[in-house]
Structure 1
Amino acid sequence: MTSDVEEVSGKSFDYIIVGGGTAGCPLAATLSEKFSVLLVERGGSPFENPLVMEKKYYGYSLFETDEFSSVAQSFVSVDGVRNLRGRVLGGSSAINGGFYSRASKEFVKKAGWNEEMVAKAYEWVESRVVFPPMLTPWQFTAEFGLLEAGILPYNGYTLEHVEGTKIGGTVFDQLGTRHTSADLLQGGNPENIIVLLNATVKNIIFHNNSDKNETCASGISFIRSDGTADETFEAVLSGANDSSSPLGDVILAAGAMGSPAILLLSGVGPPKHLKKFDIPIVVALKDVGRQLKDNPCISLMADSRPLNRPADPPQVAGIAKDLKFIIEAGVLPISANSTLVPVAAKLAFPKSKGRLKLNSMDPRENPTVKFNYLSKEEDLKQCVEMVEMLQRVVSSQAVTVFLGAEHKKDVLVGSEDLPGLCQKNVRTFYHYHGGCSVGSVVDSDYRVYGVKGLRVVDGSTFLESPGTNPMATLMMLGSLLAPKIERELKRISLSTPPPYSVFFSASLSTGMLNLRTGRPIHLKNQSKLPPKINEGEEDLPGLCRKNGPETFEAFLNGANDSSSPLGGVILAAGAIGSPAVLLLSGVGPPKHLKKFDIPIVVALKDVGRQMKDDPCISLMADSRPLNCPADTPQVAGISEDLKFIIEAGVLPISANSALFPVAAKLAYPESKGRLKLNSVDLRENPTVKFNYLSKEEDLKQCVEMGELLQRVVNSQAVTAFFGAEHKKDVLVGSEDLPGLCKKNVRTFYHYHDGCSVGSVIDSDYRVYRLWSKRIAGR
């Protein structure tokens, strides 16, 4: 983490994520496993702030809100309702009540998400930041009050969003320490993430790709959050400085207030509104800032006396009327030594919609928002029903007994008063959403319409607020979408098949490749493109030239005059050579590369891993070294569902003698090994360990294979061919076979992997995160 904008300015990244909040942090963590990521957060770190991190101070961080630096930024909608935005790493997950609950199954279906992948993404989040709560006496009371009011059934502790009364998860652990979405960054690759704090994005940088007639996002312009708006800095996507189509994406995760505002400031939005601020129109998208919603909230005080009770965030929820009403209770501080006891209800699916507009060209200032609370008649009608239910909870015997006969509750007399109460007292549940909705501003893959390389991944894309509250689903969304975004980057390639490809064999003396141009590089000084050989000669594609002591170069077409050469560098140097070339070129596990002082080009931890060699056991049909012609195998026995393969041949061991092995190989071993560099000279073999028969299943199958092999060697056909005098290998009893297998395991010379599909290369054999780089072979 850094707050030094100079440290980031001018650098390039595979992905730039704007907003280190509830969705941005998990997205950055997941993308960083294979790609470089810049995460820009306008606020600071939460970890040193006890008002954020300690449960006993719940609500205290909201007392002081200033213009540029407080962890919560206050705003008042045109409706006159005060609201808050998170302005800290972790976003609203650092200032909310910490209640964790998943989205309903219906929400997942509407969103078009894969249910199995959603479940895995939730579990990824929950394993890191979610805990079962320890209910306080007030939460037990609220639980009984909800049940007494008829909010049934009782579901106990569950993370699912289901009708009835439930106990949800919490991001506060058993010691009362908050775990925000910022904690999810620990699940990423720290070597691939830079988190820039206290920096506010001013606008997205675009450029036009004239060849394809498309607008591309290429980076961001940002300022210091406590600086002047005139002093700007830039960060760009990988390839933006030298390519018409940058790799990766700029991803907005700045929330329902931030993301629409950044789009507008960048010239993406309704033309009429942009012209008011003299913002050049990049893409005319009329729905940016529209379809904005906030869930109307009505709150009644179970005890309106400002007593000094411990702060208590909600841990129990009542979910009623087909998931339309959600009721929670807490103890909320209103000063350093006084609290209130509200019971609050929210309307989950409001029809009323509002709009967001720019208020200023300064990105640190709040935009203007109007939510139009309860403007639709259906919303007002449901609000009345919701308040009637809320009143039953507040008036319940459980609440009355707990607070005592003296408690002063809000009492409403007659339903005729409720419509007016709703309109007069509507508040926010802080779950506002929309403004960049799927289907109007972004597509189903969260890509902004009309712009390449720009996405929005946060609550601004939601048409409704998921679950009891959106925190769980926003955390999940960051983890869910990252693999999809990664796959799209891996598919980026030239739109037409390349006319040429350059093949590098394992005999290159330097062994290191420039992975953008396909040119060999030296560890200390990268050589420049050499001049033409003679005046007037053509600079021929693929021409090799001597360039220093014992080193030569060959280039891809276009490498002399383009940062995106035609064709590709294709490694076909085998299971030993190709991983070694990648490692020597700076593509592999950072820890291993650092041992040889190899500059890290791409951190790919699986280069050289998952190495396998098919274990082989060989018995001699005749162990006498006879002088016979060499004879290669031409017949194969394949058995046990293709698991065992047996061949026989005549193998010379000297100029005038040969042996007669019958060899069997295990076709699908589970044991895996690893390849590591032994030297920076590619002519030297790397170090490999295959871990033959280390898996119990492999040893078991090897024993079966040995028994089968023995039957072949002992067959009547073999005996008749060699005659009664032949000396064959004889195995007595299957109890000897495990030891024989371990002692005599050999290779069938069919070693493979080290650059496996799915971990080092994609299904098109392209190395992850590298342009024009493929691997063909084992």
Structure 2
Amino acid sequence: MSRIRSGPAGRPDVVVVGAGASGAALAARLSEDPARTVLLLEAGPVPRHLTAFGAELLDARLVPGAQPGHAAIRSYSVHLTPNRPYTVPRGRYLGGSTTVNGGYFIRARRSDFDRWSAVGGVTWSYDRLLPLLRDLENDLDHGADDLHGDRGPVRVRRTDLRHPAAAAFRAAARELGFPEEPDKNAQGAPGFGPVPSNAVDGRRVNTGISYLLSALARPNLTVMGHSSVRKVIIRHGRATGVVVERDGRSMVLEAGEVVLCAGGFGSPHLLHLSGVGPPAALERLGIPLVQDLPAVGARLSDHPQLVLEWMPRRLLAEPADTWLGAGLHLSSSDGTHTGDLEILQSLVPMAGLVGGRTAVPGAPLAFLVSVQSPRTGGRLLTVSADPEDQPLIEYGYLATPEDRRRLREVVRATAELIATRAFGEASLGLLEPGPRTLGDDRALDAWVASHLGTSHHTCGTVPMGPADDSRSAVDHFGGVHGIAGLRVADTSILPTAPLRGPAATAVLIGELVGRAMRAELP
């Protein structure tokens, strides 16, 4: 194994692992300080120009992550329930999963920040973080006001509701009495409205584009692609670098600090491989224990999702700009979490999303329905000291009566919406489940279990909280408990997934931790 000092001025001040939603934002913000050298490592390709991304990665009407075997993803084998194996994609490209996802860019809810600030302190309060949310965005619909920004790297535009299917969705929501929610980033009452997105004029503007392309020329920023980090080197309680596999060679890259932005799967797995995690589990694998942190990997949080398809009454035009239509948020019957049920509209058939096509004549369209109540219950367990061996990932869905009830409620709400007179102007009806299944709890539970998917909102695998709490692994700025010079800055630090998809929150984490590091906050 070779040992090299990398970066424009010898050993970099900071090595950032992963150029996704959080890592791109963090590396870009850190490198705005010309006195700080930053090395950003990405396991996938690193295009240097917009056109090098390829048309299928830029077309916002497609979702590359939905296409099995796509070159820009890494696939993980997981279990959503003990009897439901599943394959989950993660972006392996500059921009990470923002390069292959749907472009949904909705802020977390105030109640999410209340939960996070209960363990992360006032730093994580909504009012404290609103200025950062404004600073990271360029809202093309609202411009600059008390809630929105117009100068940030991430361009945000809400979906156009003029497509016939979106117009029918709006009419159906009105028929059922749901309130309008014209700005889902404004913390108003949940309801029906367009979806804020980082897809603009038909182009998916991932974080590699929005944060890094303009920063690549900075002399203090080095971005290395095809660089797979194998472990963090920790000596005498301090991170001093990483081991990287690149071009078939294993090498040590030394650094002043290391920040893991490898995502909800990658960051806990790297910590385990580096000796940070539950002692007994690591010792069984022959991994020397460096820091006893049983919370690493122990409490995976995500949202279960289902696809409900309906048949259009007539051939509908393919969407002009994005696969996303509108979104409806409503509350489950227990009233514990306002707006925890999501009905998200696809204007491209599922067969098109999976096959990489924007139109499939004669195919049904779909609603993606999910329960986004905060929950834990999953786990990530490293099963081998070999970095190439995937960890065991269990989501723990459908484990409680509440899990099953909420899924029944969102399925039935979607079926009711499709059955409205207004939606019938565009639809011949729901394909499945049928009326008999919808009317029987046990039958519907069985249908859900056999059709279950996930929203790909993984959080909680390296949760933040006080150092004396065994349920936490990092502090409010991602500093790993008990190890100097090592941080985690991605959605794995959120103790629970937010009530909305976490892409915008992932960028926020990169901004927050980057600013804390520049200000040398502990």
Does the C-alpha gap of structure 1 residues 61 and 110 become closer, same or farther in structure 2, counting only changes over 3 Å? closer
Match of 1:43 in 2: 44
Aligned pairs (5 A) from 1:241-260: 249-260=257-268
Instruction: String of CA shifts for 1:171-201, please: whole Å, max 9, x gaps.
Output: 1112x11111112225758232111111110
Match of 2:59 in 1: 54
Query: Given that residues 73 and 84 in structure 1 are in contact (C-alpha distance below 8 angstroms), is that contact kept between their aligned partners in structure 2?
Result: yes
Q: CA deviation at 1:159?
A: 2.1
Match of 1:223 in 2: 245
- Whether 1:363 aligns to 2:387 is yes
Match of 1:102 in 2: 107
Match of 1:164 in 2: 191
Query: Given that residues 9 and 234 in structure 1 are in contact (C-alpha distance below 8 angstroms), is that contact kept between their aligned partners in structure 2?
Result: no
RMSD (Å) for aligned C-alpha atoms: 2.8
Q: CA deviation at 1:134?
A: 3.0
SS in 2 for 1:23: helix
Please, what TM-score do these two structures have when normalized by structure 1? 0.55
Q: Distance in 2 between matches of 1:261 and 1:9?
A: 29
Match of 2:133 in 1: 122
Instruction: String of CA shifts for 1:609-628, please: whole Å, max 9, x gaps.
Output: xxxxxxxxxxxxxxxxxxxx
Query: Given that residues 55 and 172 in structure 1 are in contact (C-alpha distance below 8 angstroms), is that contact kept between their aligned partners in structure 2?
Result: yes
Q: Distance in 2 between matches of 1:273 and 1:395?
A: 51
Q: Which of 461, 465, 470 is the matching residue for 1:435?
A: 461
Q: Distance in 2 between matches of 1:304 and 1:6?
A: 60
Q: Which of 372, 390, 403 is the matching residue for 1:379?
A: 403
Q: Which amino acid aligns with 1:425?
A: H
Match of 1:487 in 2: 519
Match of 1:470 in 2: 502
Please, what TM-score do these two structures have when normalized by structure 2? 0.81
SS in 2 for 1:12: coil
Q: Which amino acid aligns with 2:511?
A: S
Match of 2:434 in 1: 411
Query: Given that residues 155 and 165 in structure 1 are in contact (C-alpha distance below 8 angstroms), is that contact kept between their aligned partners in structure 2?
Result: yes
SS in 2 for 1:431: coil
Does the C-alpha gap of structure 1 residues 131 and 406 become closer, same or farther in structure 2, counting only changes over 3 Å? closer
Q: CA deviation at 1:269?
A: 1.0
- Whether 1:200 aligns to 2:228 is yes
Aligned pairs (5 A) from 1:233-312: 233-238=251-256, 249-303=257-311, 310=318, 312=322
Q: Which amino acid aligns with 2:75?
A: S
Q: Which of 314, 318, 324 is the matching residue for 2:328?
A: 318
Query: Given that residues 165 and 317 in structure 1 are in contact (C-alpha distance below 8 angstroms), is that contact kept between their aligned partners in structure 2?
Result: yes
Does the C-alpha gap of structure 1 residues 304 and 431 become closer, same or farther in structure 2, counting only changes over 3 Å? farther
Match of 1:444 in 2: 476
Does the C-alpha gap of structure 1 residues 431 and 279 become closer, same or farther in structure 2, counting only changes over 3 Å? same
Instruction: String of CA shifts for 1:261-288, please: whole Å, max 9, x gaps.
Output: 0000111111222123211111121121
Query: Given that residues 343 and 394 in structure 1 are in contact (C-alpha distance below 8 angstroms), is that contact kept between their aligned partners in structure 2?
Result: no
Q: Distance in 2 between matches of 1:445 and 1:261?
A: 20
Q: Which amino acid aligns with 1:292?
A: L
Query: Given that residues 479 and 487 in structure 2 are in contact (C-alpha distance below 8 angstroms), is that contact kept between their aligned partners in structure 1?
Result: yes
Q: Distance in 1 between matches of 2:310 and 2:198?
A: 25
Q: Distance in 2 between matches of 1:200 and 1:12?
A: 19
Q: Which amino acid aligns with 2:304?
A: P
Aligned pairs (5 A) from 1:322-333: 322-330=338-346, 331=348, 332=350, 333=352
Query: Given that residues 391 and 412 in structure 1 are in contact (C-alpha distance below 8 angstroms), is that contact kept between their aligned partners in structure 2?
Result: no
Q: Distance in 2 between matches of 1:109 and 1:407?
A: 38
SS in 2 for 1:144: helix
Q: Distance in 2 between matches of 1:164 and 1:55?
A: 24
Does the C-alpha gap of structure 1 residues 365 and 87 become closer, same or farther in structure 2, counting only changes over 3 Å? farther
Q: Which amino acid aligns with 1:177?
A: R
Q: CA deviation at 1:310?
A: 3.3
Match of 1:546 in 2: none
Question: Is 421-430 or 284-293 further displaced after alignment?
Answer: 421-430
Query: Given that residues 161 and 468 in structure 1 are in contact (C-alpha distance below 8 angstroms), is that contact kept between their aligned partners in structure 2?
Result: no
Question: Is 364-373 or 199-208 further displaced after alignment?
Answer: 364-373
Match of 1:599 in 2: none
Question: Is 104-113 or 26-35 further displaced after alignment?
Answer: 104-113
Does the C-alpha gap of structure 1 residues 455 and 6 become closer, same or farther in structure 2, counting only changes over 3 Å? closer
Structure of greater relative contact order (alpha carbons < 8 Å, 6+ residues apart): 2
Q: CA deviation at 1:139?
A: 2.5
Q: Distance in 2 between matches of 1:348 and 1:134?
A: 24
Q: Distance in 2 between matches of 1:430 and 1:463?
A: 16
Q: Which amino acid aligns with 1:415?
A: D
How many residue pairs match? The answer is 459
Query: Given that residues 18 and 201 in structure 1 are in contact (C-alpha distance below 8 angstroms), is that contact kept between their aligned partners in structure 2?
Result: yes
Match of 1:88 in 2: 93
Match of 1:598 in 2: none
Q: Distance in 1 between matches of 2:164 and 2:11?
A: 53
Q: Distance in 2 between matches of 1:10 and 1:285?
A: 34
Q: CA deviation at 1:11?
A: 4.2
Query: Given that residues 139 and 314 in structure 1 are in contact (C-alpha distance below 8 angstroms), is that contact kept between their aligned partners in structure 2?
Result: no
Query: Given that residues 99 and 170 in structure 1 are in contact (C-alpha distance below 8 angstroms), is that contact kept between their aligned partners in structure 2?
Result: yes
Q: Which amino acid aligns with 2:496?
A: E
Q: CA deviation at 1:61?
A: 5.5
Query: Given that residues 168 and 316 in structure 1 are in contact (C-alpha distance below 8 angstroms), is that contact kept between their aligned partners in structure 2?
Result: yes
Match of 2:492 in 1: 460
Does the C-alpha gap of structure 1 residues 265 and 407 become closer, same or farther in structure 2, counting only changes over 3 Å? closer
Question: Is 360-369 or 388-397 further displaced after alignment?
Answer: 360-369
Instruction: String of CA shifts for 1:634-685, please: whole Å, max 9, x gaps.
Output: xxxxxxxxxxxxxxxxxxxxxxxxxxxxxxxxxxxxxxxxxxxxxxxxxxxx
Say which one has the larger Rg. 1
Q: Percent same amino acid at aligned positions?
A: 26
Q: Distance in 2 between matches of 1:436 and 1:318?
A: 31
Q: Distance in 2 between matches of 1:304 and 1:277?
A: 54
Query: Given that residues 304 and 410 in structure 1 are in contact (C-alpha distance below 8 angstroms), is that contact kept between their aligned partners in structure 2?
Result: no
Match of 2:148 in 1: none
Q: Which amino acid aligns with 1:37?
A: V
Q: Distance in 2 between matches of 1:76 and 1:396?
A: 39
Q: Distance in 2 between matches of 1:153 and 1:374?
A: 30
Q: Which amino acid aligns with 1:411?
A: G
Q: Distance in 2 between matches of 1:361 and 1:267?
A: 10
Q: Distance in 1 between matches of 2:481 and 2:20?
A: 23
Does the C-alpha gap of structure 1 residues 90 and 412 become closer, same or farther in structure 2, counting only changes over 3 Å? farther
Does the C-alpha gap of structure 1 residues 389 and 436 become closer, same or farther in structure 2, counting only changes over 3 Å? same
Q: Which amino acid aligns with 2:329?
A: I
SS in 2 for 1:384: helix
Q: CA deviation at 1:18?
A: 0.7
Match of 1:24 in 2: 23
Does the C-alpha gap of structure 1 residues 270 and 486 become closer, same or farther in structure 2, counting only changes over 3 Å? same
Query: Given that residues 8 and 220 in structure 2 are in contact (C-alpha distance below 8 angstroms), is that contact kept between their aligned partners in structure 1?
Result: no
Aligned pairs (5 A) from 1:330-369: 330=346, 331=348, 332=350, 333=352, 334-335=354-355, 338=360, 340-369=364-393
Dislocated runs of 4+, deviation >6 Å = none
Q: Distance in 1 between matches of 2:376 and 2:300?
A: 9
SS in 2 for 1:442: coil
Q: Which amino acid aligns with 2:41?
A: V
Q: CA deviation at 1:436?
A: 0.4
Instruction: String of CA shifts for 1:117-137, please: whole Å, max 9, x gaps.
Output: 522222222123222333333
Aligned pairs (5 A) from 1:517-532: none
Q: Which amino acid aligns with 2:498?
A: P
Q: CA deviation at 1:146?
A: 3.4
- Whether 1:73 aligns to 2:74 is yes
Q: Which amino acid aligns with 1:395?
A: A
